[in-house]
């Protein structure tokens, strides 16, 4: 491994280019083996978003939940099987994680073009990148070359950050993955799109939190009664456009974060200054978001001969 890394670094130097490498990933990984992969992924994602804009949000979240558990190895895509305790049953995923059919549809088309070549983990990374840019957010070159796990980890999936977390718990959860408080603050900006179920914010809007603007609390209660209605949806950011923007941060400054964990990012702590900055500067939000998404995509990746390229994203080969 060390010698192939050295060789790669040498080739990059010889090419007199910044090879835009993240760890051992490369933005040109499939340039020869599957040159149309990015085009295929983008067109299937575009079709899915035309049907339902929220699907873009769901795919971005799927990528986050993949990368935070065992690294970005498509472990979240595995269905239950002997020896596989599916991550789909984790607290943060059950009745919540969605977009699996879109990933299947992409995989099918990619397999038709390039047999047994492109990993499910890379497909998910590209689909997340394309979801962001097709929803009006930034676009960036996504480093590729991830391979797929042969295992899932339900126990670790059950430790994904939860909506009742404090700022220090959120910070610790990200730090454990090599991400800092800027990554935490800027990646949470993904909550500019998508929705949450009532049970994720009930306590906050019914008096559990004092740092909530009154009219927003009253409005949020309408889709989230004190008893029942647990699966009713509210947009994470209002107005609900499902378009990428810095509105999430503007809402936090106005104490209109829907989740307790979101409002923790602007509650007198060490992330306040960044929230304020992004609320005033959409461009720096977009720039920093791109950088942190690539960083998220680099967590615990399997490369080289580790793992496998799954033929069906839902099961190991
Ligand atoms: C910082 C800790 C985070 C917590 C506690 C958190 C929590 C949540 C919760 C509770 C929901 C609602 C899920 C549901 O009701 O079904 C949600 C949705 C979502 N999250 Fe996060 N999240 C966090 C970070 C992130 C990150 C880093 C990203 C992506 C980079 C992300 C992307 C999303 C998206 C796009 C949705 C909407 C999904 C949809 O509409 O299907 N979240 N999150
Ligand atoms: C936040 O996490 C960083 C590591 O990324 C750590 O050094 C720092 O002490 C944490 N800050 C707080 C206030 O918890």
Supply the CATH number for residue 64's domain: 1.10.520.10
Known binding residue 161? Answer is: yes
Tens of pLDDT, residues 11-33? 444 443 444 444 599 999 999 99
Calculate what percentage of the chain has a pLDDT beyond 90.
Answer: 92
Q: Can you spell out the DSSP letters for 260-272?
A: HHHHHTTSSSTTH
Q: Which of 170, 173, 175, 186 to mutate for ligand 2's pocket (most ligand atoms within 8 Å of CB)?
A: 175
CATH number at residue 261: 1.10.420.10
Nearest alpha carbon to residue 193 among 88, 64, 11: 64
Q: What is the pLDDT of residues 222-276, one digit of tens each?
A: 999 999 999 999 999 999 999 999 999 999 999 999 999 999 999 999 999 999 9
- Are residue 177 and residue 145 in the same domain, yes or no? no
Residue at 305 is within a domain: no
- Say what the pLDDT of residue 11 is: 43
Cβ–Cβ < 8 Å for 123, 110: yes
Q: Which residues are catalytic?
A: 65
Q: Is residue 217 part of a domain?
A: yes
Distance from the CA of 224 to the center of ligand 2, in angstroms? 34
pLDDT digits (tens, 9 = 90+) for 181-220: 999 999 999 999 999 999 999 999 999 999 999 999 999 9
Distance between Cα 315 and ligand 2 center (Å): 37
Specify the pairing of strand 25-26 against strand 195-197: unpaired
State which of 190, 192, 193, 289 you would mutate to test the pocket of ligand 1, scoring each by most atoms of that ligand within 8 A of its C-beta: 190
Shared-domain flag, residues 200 and 275: yes
Asked if residues 311 and 79 have their Cβ atoms less than 8 Å apart, the reply is no
Question: Is position 12 within any domain?
Answer: yes
CB of 271 shorter than 6 A to ligand 2: no
Closest ligand to the CA of 100: 1
pTM over 0.85: yes
40 occurs within a structural domain: yes
Q: Give nearest CA residue, ligand 1 atom 33.
A: 61
> For residues 127 and 41, is the Cβ–Cβ distance under 8 A?
yes
Q: Domain for residue 279, yes or no?
A: yes
Beta carbon of 270 within 6 Å of any ligand 2 atom: yes
How many structural domains is the chain composed of? 2
Ligand 1 atom closest to 193 (CA): 35
pLDDT band at 5 (very low <50, low <70, confident <90, very high): very low
Residue 179 sits in the same domain as residue 202: yes
136 & 40 share domain: yes
**pLDDT at position 10 over 90:** no
Instruction: Give me the chain's average pLDDT, please.
Output: 94
Q: How far apart are CA 53 and CA 47, in angstroms?
A: 10
Co-location of 20 and 62 in the same domain: yes
| pLDDT tens sequence across 23-82 | 599 999 999 999 999 999 999 999 999 999 999 999 999 999 999 999 999 999 999 999
Same domain, 14 and 147: yes
Quick one: which atom of ligand 1 is closest to the CA of 194? 40
Annotated ligand binding at 264? The verdict is no
165: left (phi over 0), alpha (psi -120 to 50) or beta: beta
- pLDDT tens digit sequence for 163-187: 999 999 999 999 999 999 999 999 9
Task: Please name the residue whose Cα sits nearest to atom 8 of ligand 2.
Answer: 171
Decide: residue 114, CB within 10 A, 0-12 exposed, 13-18 middle, 19+ buried.
middle
- Atom 11 of ligand 1: nearest residue by CA position: 196
* Pocket of ligand 2 contains residue 180 by CB under 6 Å: yes
- Say what the pLDDT of residue 304 is: 95
Q: Does 153 lie in the same domain as 26?
A: yes
What is the domain extent for residue 89? 2-160
- Does the pLDDT at position 302 exceed 50? yes
Any ligand 1 atom below 6 A from CB of 194: yes
């Amino acid at each position: 491994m060390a010698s192939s890394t050295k060789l790669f670094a040498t080739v990059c130097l010889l090419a007199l280019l910044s090879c835009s490498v993240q760890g051992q990933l490369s933005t040109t990984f499939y340039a020869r083996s599957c040159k149309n992969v990015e085009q295929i992924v983008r067109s299937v994602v575009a079709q899915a978003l035309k049907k339902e804009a929220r699907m873009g949000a769901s795919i971005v979240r799927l990528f986050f939940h993949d990368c935070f558990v065992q690294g970005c190895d498509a472990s979240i895509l595995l269905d239950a099987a002997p020896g596989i305790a599916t991550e789909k049953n984790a607290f943060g995923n059950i009745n919540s994680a969605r977009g699996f059919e879109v990933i299947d549809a992409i995989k099918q088309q990619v397999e038709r073009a390039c047999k047994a070549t492109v990993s499910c983990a890379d497909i998910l990374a590209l689909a997340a990148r394309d979801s962001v840019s097709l929803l009006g957010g930034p676009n960036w070159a996504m480093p590729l070359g991830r391979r797929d796990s042969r295992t899932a980890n339900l126990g670790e999936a059950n430790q994904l950050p939860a909506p009742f977390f404090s700022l220090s718990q959120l910070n610790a959860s990200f730090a454990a993955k090599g991400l800092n408080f800027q990554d935490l603050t800027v990646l949470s900006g993904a909550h500019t799109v998508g929705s949450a179920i009532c049970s994720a914010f009930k306590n906050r809007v019914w008096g559990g939190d004092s740092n909530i603007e009154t009219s927003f609390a009253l409005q949020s209660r309408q889709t989230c009664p004190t008893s029942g209605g647990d699966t009713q949806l509210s947009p994470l950011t209002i107005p609900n456009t499902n378009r990428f923007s810095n509105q999430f941060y503007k809402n936090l400054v106005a104490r209109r974060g829907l989740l307790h964990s979101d409002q923790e990012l602007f509650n007198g702590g060490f992330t306040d200054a960044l929230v304020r900055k992004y609320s005033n500067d959409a461009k720096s939000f977009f720039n920093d978001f791109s950088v942190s998404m690539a960083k998220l995509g680099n967590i615990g990746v399997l490369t080289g001969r580790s793992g496998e390229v799954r033929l069906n994203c839902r099961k190991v080969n």
